[in-house]
Structure 1
């Protein structure tokens, strides 16, 4: 019986990063099959312009996810800031279940808060304003009504603009706000938080109202390596992929 739970985020899959795509496909066909559940906490794709996009590497990813879900591993997906337009058709094609952000699970008896992580970066006010707007049904319907080639061109332009905007921002602004972290954990009654987004893998120990708390930050995958956070009844470990 499979019992372990796996967590990954921030693979940023795209046609021009074939090494990461190949590593992820190998992971889905081997290591991930040992998991009872796999949680993908956002930014699986570098850009997702709609479920009608079947340009590479999307078809292979869909097929591999479907095989994994049919093998008995439950796959949960939390939308990130790059793939928040991923929707019901993708889930139907792959067997993946969308979960809200934030989302609480029982992780071997401990309430654990799962987030992509961008909601915690409250010092980045322009991004938070865009995030609020882009999550509205009206905004998304307007974007998805455009022809696919227009959306693909727009995604490339946004990627380029995002690259230059990030160069102008300090690392502190793009990291989580600790007060927001504590406030969010209190709101959801959790002393354990797992998230990605910041590309700053670490395990942070701190206190929430005098109680010990932990924040596990998942790593981003690169062409050279990837990590998966694995949890079982004996605790956690971080495995290189």
Structure 2
């Protein structure tokens, strides 16, 4: 049966080898049966540049390359942790990079895809940080630094992000309903698929008298999660 798979928020890191192994097994097994695989951001815990020589990245790149060489297209949308992933790594793996907001055809139904962090308008502190690190001048200066310096900065950012996450209410870190409605309206679709919030669910909402759906993908902290879309419908499923 035709099927398209969606995953996000794996946060792959050498400190969680079981999730690295689970992802590689997923690529060698379930993903081989898909028409396409979409990775909607935060594939990695952090990304400090395509020249990163961390040992665990080689296995991930090889597994992705094996999948794309087997004929399964893999699409990647940048997340808030791996927004620096570039064309060099994409070429190494065979992945195709997506724009921040991309509309695709899912068996006759248009769907808007994104990571989802740009929908969290009520988290003013994060949105200011996002504007800073998405600036081309900031990125150029960061990537010009030695690897060790970049890695130390990324670790510091990760620690701060964890601390901030514990202090903020769930309402602040969730998506803004207004941003969701604006995105659906802007692209003229009735289906939005995103990650980022780590709150997997299929939400039903009404926008301009149209019934719409917003699908939130699961993270891969304890186990894996994916969205399977077929011509008959869609379902959130566990991986592993």
Counterpart of 2:180? Answer: 181
Runs of 5+ unmatched residues, structure 2: none
Query: Does 2:13 correspond to 1:46?
Result: no
User: What is the DSSP-based 3-state SS (H/G/I as helix, E as strand, rest coil) of the residue aligned with 1:152?
Assistant: helix
Q: How far off its partner does 1:56 sit?
A: 2.8
TM-score, normalised to structure 1, is 0.97
Q: How far off its partner does 1:235 sit?
A: 1.3
Q: Distance in 1 between matches of 2:154 and 2:171?
A: 26
| C-alpha contact 1:41 1:114 (8 A) present in aligned 2 | yes
Q: Distance in 2 between matches of 1:234 and 1:187?
A: 26
Q: Distance in 2 between matches of 1:115 and 1:169?
A: 23
Counterpart of 1:93? Answer: 92
Q: Distance in 1 between matches of 2:138 and 2:68?
A: 31
Runs of 5+ unmatched residues, structure 1: none
Deviations 1:101-143 (A, max 9, x none): 1111011111100010101100011111111221121111000
User: What is the DSSP-based 3-state SS (H/G/I as helix, E as strand, rest coil) of the residue aligned with 1:57?
Assistant: helix
RMSD between aligned residues: 1.0
Query: Does 2:103 correspond to 1:110?
Result: no
Aligned length: 239
User: What is the DSSP-based 3-state SS (H/G/I as helix, E as strand, rest coil) of the residue aligned with 1:42?
Assistant: coil
Deviations 1:26-68 (A, max 9, x none): 0000100001110000000000000001213100000000000
Match of 1:231 among 222, 229, 232: 229
Q: After TM superposition, which residue ranges in structure 1, 4 or more long, deviate above 4 angstroms?
A: none
Q: Distance in 2 between matches of 1:54 and 1:10?
A: 22
| C-alpha contact 1:13 1:44 (8 A) present in aligned 2 | yes
Q: How far off its partner does 1:239 sit?
A: 2.5
TM-score, normalised to structure 2, is 0.97
Query: Does 2:64 correspond to 1:76?
Result: no
Deviations 1:193-225 (A, max 9, x none): 0000000011100101011000000000123x2
Q: Distance in 1 between matches of 2:173 and 2:214?
A: 17
Q: Distance in 2 between matches of 1:237 and 1:165?
A: 32
